[in-house]
Amino acid sequence: MPVHGRQTAVGCASGGVLLQIVLLAVVCSTALAAQSRSAAAFELFGLKLWELSSDEDADIVDPLRYTVTTDAPDADEDLAEKLENASALKADEEHPVSGSLGLLAKARSDREQLVAAFYADALYEGVVTITIQGKPLDDLPPDAEFSGPQPIPVVISIAAGPKFTLGNIRLKGDAAGLASADFGLIAGGDASSGAVLKAEAAIVRALKQEGRPLAKVTGREIVAEHAGSTLDVTLTVAAGPVAGYGDTTVEGTEKVDRDFTEYMTGLKRGRQYSPDEIDDARDRLLGLEVFNSVTVKEADALDAEGNIPIGVEVSERKPHHLDLVGSLSSTDGLDLKGNWEHRNLFGPAEKLRIDGKISGIGSNDLSQLNYSAGVMFEKPGVVGPASKFFAGVNTVLEHPDAYDHFSVKGNTGLSYDLDRQQTVSAEVALDYSKITDSFGKHTFLIASIPLRYVYDNRDNRLNPTTGFRALAYAEP
């Protein structure tokens, strides 16, 4: 996204040289810089826990070492930290580059990454000047050679300038009827590159919610008004026609049945397109636990019938999984437990899991050992992609001090996802148990119908930051 200035534009070199950068590429380069930094080393209280080994450094052709000095007099502590995190030169300072050409390439890339950090913080007058051995980067020829004692001195001078806010905002094309404030674009509001890109994505998403899979931003004009430190944003959006789903094609399957994978997307040909259903399809395929990655995307154009073809790309996980764990206690003896799992038993992602545990080895005689074992089977998609059949058998033999207990429990049932947040399940269970204590032997046979309802609106089930999970359970 070009950023034009009516007086001066965001500069990245001495003299405020005009730099036009597509915001998306800029933000991505910032992320890559942070990733590069995280991959370099992990430091705790000054102690490097891991980093690139000297053997890896030894593989670098024509190694050239350098040292970095950063000069940012008008940057506060927070901004200084962001800029340092964005600098690959700083992150990799302890490791040599491959000759003078490598240092030049790293410096030029670093300048763009630092400007990206400015954009991400709504600083559109920021100037980054990099010198190597006292010479400005733009004055150095492409084949410059850096000789003399190492490390080669590199100086990064930064002038941040004022923070910008949003100025005039215009939505054109098929987005003309939308209110920019609904997407976070408010005069006087956040003008960072991330906020603008987030708003773009939200506008396109809103149009796609109407069943328009080809909605996209077709024009983008960003103008930095330096007199008032404001950023004028003009976005032109094309909604495209309403369309249904076309053919769904699947690539990447090996042992998992291809037709079953297509069926589990739940994207029926002819039904009106919905981005939420595309997300559901991806989550449902990942939930099968047979794929490492799943990508579901729309084609770039409609087919002859006016429908949008859907492409699914997957990569499979290893179908088998084995865990063995042992623990030793001076009072309870040795415990051994393990489980074996097959995630794709017959091809359509059936799961078979076998668990076993023996405890008390060494602390009791063999007749007093505690045992447990279980077998669980799951088959997804039995009555639609959102359903799952399950069955299991578990047995326990244990010998606490007060009694001996033996039981066998079997269950079978069906679960169904009503939507992304709600799941219901019902099953039939039989539990046979025999207990021997000081009062004699007791035998029980219990039949039940466990019913369960789960509401889960957490934003991320593995690492939630908002939302909650509620469960209602009854077992007549």
Query: What DSSP assignment string belongs to 377-416?
Result: EEEE-BTBTTEEEEEEEEEEEE--SS-EEEEEEEEEEEEE
pLDDT score, position 25: 39
The reported pLDDT for the residue numbered 8 is 35
Q: Examine domains 165-238 and 244-316 and report if their fold is the same.
A: yes
> What class has domain 165-238?
alpha beta
d(CA 292, CA 311): 17
Residue ranges of the chain with pLDDT lower than 70?
1-58, 364
Half-sphere exposure of 43 (CA within 13 A, CB side): 8
Residue 76: what are its φ and ψ, rounded to 5°? -75, 175
CATH fold of 320-474: Porin (2.40.160)
d(CA 384, CA 377): 18
Q: How far apart are CA 115 and CA 194, in angstroms?
A: 13
Q: Domain spanning 244-316: which CATH class is it, in words?
A: alpha beta
pLDDT at 57: 62
Cβ–Cβ under 8 Å, residues 87 and 71: no
Query: Nearest to residue 194, comparing CAs of 22, 23, 5, 12?
Result: 23
Which position has the token pair 């992609």? 385
C-beta of residue 220 within 8 angstroms of C-beta of residue 236: yes
Which DSSP string corresponds to 35-93? Answer: HHHHHHEEEETTEEEEE--HHHHHTSSSEE-EEEEEE-TT--HHHHHHHHHH-HHHHTT
Alpha carbons within 13 angstroms on the beta-carbon side of residue 46 total 0
Domain ranges across the chain:
3-159, 165-238, 244-316, 320-474
R_g of the chain computed on alpha carbons: 31
CB neighbourhood size of 469 (10 A): 12
DSSP for 194-258 reads: HHHHHHHHHHHHHHHTTT-TT-EEEEEEEEEETTTTEEEEEEEEE-----EEEEEEEES-SSS-H
Supply 390's token pair. Answer: 């399950």
